[in-house]
């Protein structure tokens, strides 16, 4: 897919991929986690779930700034020319587990229903400020979501 259609690339990755790498920080120290995410229809926010006793949750409690990387790697040499990466940048906050948000998340990840409903788990809303689409490791396009 050509980088000339970054919105289409963004839509494909946010719809097709199940996992992303969430980057948080604490006192200048970066920290990454694999998270199962779901995107809103307009892609302005992403949802993920985390236990409240994790470093990820603690980091986001002290600094809401985060980044989420989603890609379509196959872990082969062809990735150097064919892999596409989407980087979401924005702020994260814990939200109530209201039916609309729960349904959005469960529609993509029905197998995580009990994890989501657990009282020790937090539903997190990642408000996307911008996406950065990278193809072929060098073609980069920025999409402002504000």
Tell me what pLDDT residue 135 has.
84
CATH number, residue 31: 2.30.110.10
What whole-number distance in Å separates Cα of residue 3 and Cα of residue 135? 6
What whole-number distance in Å separates Cα of residue 118 and Cα of residue 22? 21
Whether 1 maps to a domain, the answer reads no
- Residue 19 domain boundaries: 6-144
Burial class of residue 99 in the structure, from the number of CB atoms within 10 Å of its CB (0-12 exposed, 13-18 middle, 19+ buried) = exposed
Q: Which helix (H) or strand (E) holds 52?
A: none
Would you write out the chain's pLDDT as a tens digit for each of its 146 residues? Answer: 445 688 999 999 999 999 999 999 999 999 999 999 999 999 999 999 999 999 999 999 999 999 999 998 887 787 677 789 999 999 999 999 999 999 999 999 999 999 999 999 999 999 999 999 988 767 888 889 98
Number of domain units in the chain: 1
Tell me which residue of 143, 133, 106 sits closest to 121, measured CA to CA: 106
């Amino acid at each position: 897919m050509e980088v000339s259609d970054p919105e289409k690339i963004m839509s494909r990755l946010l719809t097709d991929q199940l996992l992303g790498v969430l980057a948080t920080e604490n006192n200048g120290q970066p920290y990454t986690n694999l998270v199962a995410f779901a995107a809103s229809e307009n892609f302005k926010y992403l949802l993920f779930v985390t236990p409240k006793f994790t470093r990820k949750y603690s980091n986001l409690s002290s600094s809401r700034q985060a980044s989420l990387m989603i890609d379509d790697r196959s872990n082969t040499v062809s990735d150097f020319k064919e892999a596409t990466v989407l980087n979401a940048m924005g702020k994260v906050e814990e939200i109530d587990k209201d039916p609309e948000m729960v349904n959005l998340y469960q529609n993509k990840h029905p197998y995580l229903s009990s994890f989501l409903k657990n009282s020790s788990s937090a539903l997190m809303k990642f408000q996307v400020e911008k996406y950065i689409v990278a193809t072929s490791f060098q073609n980069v396009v920025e999409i402002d979501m504000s």
